[in-house]
Amino acid sequence: MGMGLVQEVVGLSSPTGKDKSPVACQNTLKSSIGCTGIGLHSGRKVSMTLHPADAETGIVFERSDMGGGTGTVGASWQNVVDTRMATTLGNSDGALVSTVEHLMAALAGCGIDNAIVEIDGPEVPVMDGSAAPFVFLVECAGMRLQDAPRLAIKIEKPIMVGDDRKFLSIRPEEAFSVSFEIDFDDSPMARQQLSLRLANGTFKTEIARARTFGFAHEVDALRKAGLARGGSLDNAVVINGNTVMNGDGLRYRDEFVRHKILDCVGDLYLAGAPLIGAVDALRSGHALNSSLLHTLFDNPDAWSYVEMMETLVPGTSHMEETGSERAFA
């Protein structure tokens, strides 16, 4: 599974406790497909191409602008090197890939286990600030079933990080769900709560289109810190007091908490496999998301590998055997 961790793999019964549904297989893309955009924080133009990969590869980033094999960075919690305003991965050769969470969320939500992400710069393009463009890319490329069982990480004991003011926890449950509450002092608009079970296409319909957001009074400070240089009303929702500055308004009434769930899903997919458990979050962000995975894997009795049942696969239901051969050169 790409994490350097070995545990016994066991079967997982269906949520109803009745006959087991078929074991899910791993998935990759049918064909390569790509896009071009700018980095949210760097402001740099970047091209990215998603390629199919063999079973058991996992998600791997390849910096094409770095030579000598130094640009390979695995999408793993062990490779997280920065969580300020985004999740950044790095390797021992100094290769960095930042703002990976939206792409990782899309891959998780579509049920993609194995892919090579070729990128010619240090940051994943922000696109429209959501995961929807990446879901679209996966749908256009199509999905290919692979001859290997899909393993999941089943939570056996509760794990929690944080404190009373902000925390993130995961506990045993028969499916993957997220309950998230946000409460920003900057605006009453950003006090929201939502609970969702993420299976059978829920990610695409309920989460994928939610955009990243920020507060107008923070923009100057962020840019002085070298962040948000590529941010605009085209790729982020900007809040000024009780007003949304974007002319097209919100995509969901509670778009902010939906985007926080999106970030959480993407960050937690750095576990190297889907999680089976219930996530509860209060004001959590990238740092706590990363900390939860470190704490989880520091406690080997809190989790186990299981074969994932098809009924628990989060991906969109129509994608298993379809998808065009469209590709981006």
Q: What is the pLDDT of residues 285-329, one digit of tens each?
A: 999 999 999 999 999 999 999 999 876 666 543 333 333 232 222
Per-residue tokens: 171 = 């506990």
| β-sheet bridge partners, residue 34 | 49
For a pLDDT cut of 70, what percent of the chain falls above it?
A: 83
Alpha carbon distances (Å) from 31 to 63, 139, 146: 19, 11, 14
How far is residue 179's CA from residue 257's CA, in Å, rounded to a whole number? Answer: 10
Tell me the angle at which helices 255-268 and 101-110 cross, rounded to the nearest 10 degrees. 80
Is pLDDT of 3 > 90? no
Q: Which domains does the chain have, with CATH numbers?
A: 19-312 (3.30.1700.10)
Q: What is the pLDDT of residues 93-116, one digit of tens each?
A: 999 999 999 999 999 999 999 999
Residue 185, pLDDT score = 73
Catalytic residue (one of 217, 286, 294, 318): 286
Residue 3 vs residue 287, higher pLDDT: 287
Is 318 one of the annotated active-site residues of the chain?
Answer: no
With CA atoms as reference, report the closest residue to 279 among 164, 187, 203, 198: 198
Mean pLDDT of 64-72: 92
Is pLDDT of 20 > 60? no
Residue 184, pLDDT score = 80
Mean of the per-residue pLDDT values of the chain: 87
Residue 224, pLDDT score = 61
How far is residue 34's CA from residue 133's CA, in Å, rounded to a whole number? Answer: 11
Q: Report angle CA 6, 162, 204 to the nearest 5 degrees.
A: 70
How far is residue 27's CA from residue 53's CA, in Å, rounded to a whole number? Answer: 9
The DSSP call for residue 206 is I
Residue 85, pLDDT score = 87
With CA atoms as reference, report the closest residue to 33 among 95, 122, 116, 120: 116
| β-sheet bridge partners, residue 25 | 149
Q: Please give the single-letter amino acid code of residue 284.
A: S
- pTM of the entire structure? 0.87
